């Protein structure tokens, strides 16, 4: 029999598979609770929507920039009502991504996301893809903390 | 709630290595097979585990000397733990991501996944919000804002550290006024540059680490830890070749985007002691209280912090109402300036009663006060007639007056940490001792 944590992990895996990999945004209505709360990184706090729409818009932005955007679970850990997942994301920059026109370059980055799950549905998200690595891979990134830009 | 052994290892890494800078505990926390999948860009290869891990606090503390991580969430399953932390710090150290120090206070989130093996961290993936952090330090400060005057002082500190004194012309007024000139310092901006050059010739590798910049109105207070190798003559003392550490607190008035006036109290006595010119008092015995650096709580307001400082000085130091110290200070509060004192109000009482019994007519005034929502700094004058024993010096009957800078850090309405730079050399000179 699956534990509550196993079911919570399955919900997170299903969300990535349906929404991020297949672009099935209707699934977001199903897997996210009605009062879903997104905690975007600080630079995105200007985004007014913190609800389901925030996550849906993020998926749309990534899939617009990378039509084959694909998220693969590397490691998932759950305890209490929380799920952490380490992911690897790949894709081809064949569309405009946050203002940067298509370059045709491939990206391969990691990300870590945390979810709070309520009754089998995702209630809160915190998380980041390696955006600096991504921007550097498409040639639009700033220098890293060591000082020099790198690929 | 007690952490599991795996979570406890991660917590020690955050609290001891990142927040405390204690790199010597790295071998206790990291497995010899440690593999970092998210090494900072530019990190060298072929490094030992110790060297790899030590780069992390070096990078963050180098740029943000007061960096502090708060663990927001931890999840453990099997041998993996997931973590989310909030990092906070003030950008007054080194260049970070190509951006020279800005004085900006920043907040960022960082995620981690760690594999634990044999009770130690064996593998790490990290995801700090570096873009968000960079955006905060590249945003130009609003004209007339406190961010702007902190940025000017951060530039000043960086110019002194890189010995780029010509840059002073950009952010120091020509008729700069120093209220605490070093002996022989000439007036104005040129005199200031030459005073720094004199320090540089005595300590060619001198580095000022400012651990905070507090701003209010047109004043900025910064407290620093200074390190340098004594390779040239200083205050008439021939080079000792020793690496010396001392502290100093600086206050500046900024006018029209430039530093116009300066005040300083620095630990001249400590310097002379380390040079071997003045005897070093015996180290106190007994246990030293653990640092209260990690004590955090809700911030206050500048007005409330100002009121707290004024009440503390007036009641405890001027009126001798020592018991108020227990109300104003958190019981675990410590002072890096006097680590041997007992924590909390008890330590304050020791030092206040010592001065008040040496100077029965002791008085203290607040000449300047600078408060933000976390810290309150003041420049004090104090004095009295020396009628009782002070540090073993029998009464001289002399009337003295000397200055001091003090900083209190406030959390949940209580003082949780404090720093002092007192003109002890001036005091000793007036008493006719040493100096």
Q: Give tens-digit pLDDT for B308-342.
A: 999 999 999 999 999 999 999 999 999 999 888 99
What ranges in A16-151 are assigned the alpha helix state H?
A: 26-31, 52-65, 131-137
pLDDT at A143: 61
Q: B12 pairs with which residues across the strands?
A: none
What does the mean pLDDT of chain B come to?
93
Asked if residue B210 lies in contact with residue B222, where contact means CB atoms within 8 angstroms, the answer is yes
Q: How many other C-beta atoms lie within 10 A of the C-beta of residue B203?
A: 21
Closest approach of A151 to chain B, Cα-based (Å): 10
More confidently predicted of A84 and B50: A84
pLDDT at B249: 97
pLDDT exceeds 90 at position B85: yes
Q: Is A127 on the interface with B (CB under 8 A)?
A: yes
- B284 CA to centre of own chain: 23
CB contact under 8 Å between A114 and B38, yes or no, is no
CA angle A97, A98, A103 (to 5 degrees): 35
pLDDT at A151: 29
How sure is the predictor about B284, in pLDDT bands with cuts at 50, 70 and 90?
Answer: low
pLDDT exceeds 70 at position B1: no
Q: Is B368 on the interface with A (CB under 8 A)?
A: no
The structure's pTM equals 0.85
The DSSP code for B25 is G
Q: How many other C-beta atoms lie within 10 A of the C-beta of residue B429?
A: 15
Tell me the C-alpha distance between B173 and B189, whole Å.
Answer: 7
Q: Give A-chain residues touching B80 at CB under 8 angstroms.
A: 75, 77
Sequence-ordered list of residues with C-beta below 8 angstroms from that of B422, at least 6 positions apart, any chain: B265, B402, B403, B404
Nearest chain A residue to B44 by CA: give it. Answer: A146
Q: Give B-chain residues touching A151 at CB under 8 angstroms.
A: none
Across B263-271, average pLDDT: 91
pLDDT exceeds 70 at position B190: yes
Could you say which residues of chain A have pLDDT below 70? 1, 42-48, 142-151
- A137 CA to centre of own chain: 17
Q: Is B37 on the interface with A (CB under 8 A)?
A: yes
Tell me the C-alpha distance between B247 and B224, whole Å.
Answer: 6
Across B89-102, average pLDDT: 92
CB contact under 8 Å between A130 and B113, yes or no, is no
Q: Is A104 on the interface with B (CB under 8 A)?
A: no
Structure tokens at B328: 């104003």
CB contact under 8 Å between A77 and B76, yes or no, is yes
């Amino acid at each position: 029999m699956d534990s509550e944590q196993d079911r919570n992990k399955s919900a997170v895996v299903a969300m990535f598979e349906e929404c991020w990999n297949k672009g099935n945004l209707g699934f977001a209505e199903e897997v996210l609770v009605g009062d879903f709360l997104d905690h975007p990184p600080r630079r995105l706090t200007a985004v007014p929507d913190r609800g389901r729409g925030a996550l849906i818009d993020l998926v749309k932005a990534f899939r617009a920039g990378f039509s084959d955007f694909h998220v693969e679970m590397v490691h998932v850990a759950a305890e209490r009502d929380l799920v952490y997942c380490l992911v690897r994301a790949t894709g081809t920059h064949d569309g405009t991504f946050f203002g940067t026109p298509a370059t045709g370059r491939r990206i391969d980055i990691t990300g870590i996301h945390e979810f709070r799950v309520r009754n089998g549905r995702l209630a809160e998200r915190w998380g980041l893809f390696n955006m600096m690595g991504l921007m550097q891979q498409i040639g639009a990134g700033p220098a890293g903390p060591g000082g020099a830009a790198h690929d | 709630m007690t952490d599991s052994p795996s979570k406890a290892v991660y917590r020690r890494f955050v609290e001891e290595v990142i927040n405390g800078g204690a790199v010597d505990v790295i071998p206790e926390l990291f497995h010899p097979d440690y593999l970092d999948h998210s090494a900072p860009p530019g990190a060298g290869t072929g490094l030992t585990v110790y060297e790899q891990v030590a780069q992390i606090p070096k990078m963050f503390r180098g740029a943000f000397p007061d960096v502090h991580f708060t663990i927001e969430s931890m999840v453990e399953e099997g041998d993996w733990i997931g973590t989310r932390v909030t990092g906070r710090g003030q950008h007054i150290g080194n260049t970070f991501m190509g951006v020279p120090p800005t004085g900006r206070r920043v907040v960022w989130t960082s995620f981690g996944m760690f594999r634990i093996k044999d009770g130690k961290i064996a593998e790490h993936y990290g995801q700090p919000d570096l873009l968000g952090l960079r955006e905060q330090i590249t945003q130009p400060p609003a004209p007339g804002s406190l961010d702007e005057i902190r940025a000017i002082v951060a530039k000043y500190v960086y110019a002194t550290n890189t010995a780029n004194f010509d840059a002073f012309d950009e952010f120091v007024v020509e008729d700069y006024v120093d209220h605490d000139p070093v002996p022989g310092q000439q007036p104005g901006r040129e005199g200031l540059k030459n005073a720094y050059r004199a320090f540089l010739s005595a300590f060619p590798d001198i580095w000022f680490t400012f651990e905070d910049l507090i701003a209010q109105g047109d004043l900025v207070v910064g407290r620093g830890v200074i390190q340098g190798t004594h390779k040239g003559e200083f205050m008439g003392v021939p080079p000792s070749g020793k690496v010396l550490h001392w502290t100093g607190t600086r206050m500046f008035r900024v006018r029209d985007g430039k530093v116009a006036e300066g005040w300083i109290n620095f630990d001249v006595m400590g310097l002379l002691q380390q040079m071997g010119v003045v005897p070093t008092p015996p180290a106190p015995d007994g246990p030293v209280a653990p640092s209260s650096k990690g004590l955090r709580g809700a911030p206050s307001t500048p007005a409330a912090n100002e009121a707290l400082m004024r009440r503390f000085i007036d009641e405890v130091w001027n009126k001798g109402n020592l018991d108020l110290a227990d109300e104003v200070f958190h019981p675990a509060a410590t002072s890096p300036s006097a680590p041997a004192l007992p924590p909390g109000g008890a330590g304050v009482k020791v030092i206040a009663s010592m001065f008040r019994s040496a100077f029965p007519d002791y008085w203290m005034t607040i000449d300047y006060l600078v408060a933000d929502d976390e810290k309150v700094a003041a420049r004090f004058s104090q004095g009295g007639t020396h009628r009782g024993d002070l540090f073993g010096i029998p009464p001289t009957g002399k009337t003295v007056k000397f200055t001091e800078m003090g900083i209190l850090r406030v959390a949940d309405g209580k003082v949780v940490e404090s720093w002092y730079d007192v003109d002890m050399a001036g005091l000793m000179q007036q008493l006719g001792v040493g100096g």
